[in-house]
Structure 1
Amino acid sequence: MTKGAKLIAALGIGFLGGLFVQRSLNHLPLSPERALSKVKASAKQVLTIDGAWIFLQKEPWSNGKLAYEVYKGGLTEKTGDEVVHYDFIVDAQTGTLLSLEAQVAD
């Protein structure tokens, strides 16, 4: 095998290895911090976010027949003198916001 052929073979193997690693990493769940970042980015389109938090442990959750591994957390929005708290549920795999509900103060 010539040096050029060896170089091309090494580049091809390196490319395929990188592609395999990338695809493997895409199947890992998001960190809680990354999931919270995605929630905040989605919610900023409709809310003025003042604060945010997230539980660090994933848990099972279902919406009808669809089952997910999720993170739960909350957002706060301050408008004037009023503070509104929202609970959210986010898919731990994709960061998709599955639920966002305002909590009514008693």
Structure 2
Amino acid sequence: MNWKAFITGVAAGATAGHFINHYLLEPKTISGDVILENVKEAFKKEGPIEGSWIQLKKQHYKKFAMDTFVYHGGITAIRDGEKKQFEFIADATTGTIIDVYLT
């Protein structure tokens, strides 16, 4: 067996394995803009909204057994004839809203 060919094959396999793991298997995050649009659509079902914002920098979030990265954002909406401000926390990987609260 030619050792040079063997070592080249091992190196090529390790490199391919690294790229497959890094680009295909690692969880991808959803854009903060997409999450904000989804939250706005959900709020529009209950009434008009006046404004919205989201921090595009992901932040680490740990609560009990949940350990993930999240986006923080907010919505200003008209509810019962009054302007109310809500803030939300959304999982950056799945886009799931973790919490919504009135500020």
TM over 0.5: yes
In 2, are the aligned partners of 1:39 and 1:90 still within 8 Å (CA)?
no
SS at match of 2:77: strand
Is 1:44 matched with 2:63? Answer: no
Q: What RMSD, in angstroms, separates the aligned Cα atoms of the two structures?
A: 2.6
Counterpart for residue 11 of structure 1: none
| Contact kept in structure 1, 2:47 and 2:79, CA below 8 Å | no
The residue number in structure 2 matching 1:78 is 78
> 1:41 Cα deviation (Å)?
2.9
* Residues matched between the structures, number: 82
How far, CA to CA, are the matches of 1:79 and 1:66 in structure 2? Answer: 31
Identity over aligned pairs, percent: 30
The Cα of 1:48 is off from its aligned counterpart by: 3.2
Native 8 Å contact 1:49 1:77 kept in 2: yes
5+ unaligned residues in a row in structure 2: which ranges? 1-19
Name the counterpart of 2:28.
28
Q: Any runs of at least 4 consecutive aligned residues in structure 1 with deviations exceeding 6 A, and if so which?
A: none
Distance 1:46-1:81 versus aligned 2 partners, 3 A rule: closer
One-letter amino acid matched to 1:101:
Y
Pair 1:55 & 2:60 matched: no
Q: Which runs of 5+ in 1 are unaligned?
A: 1-19
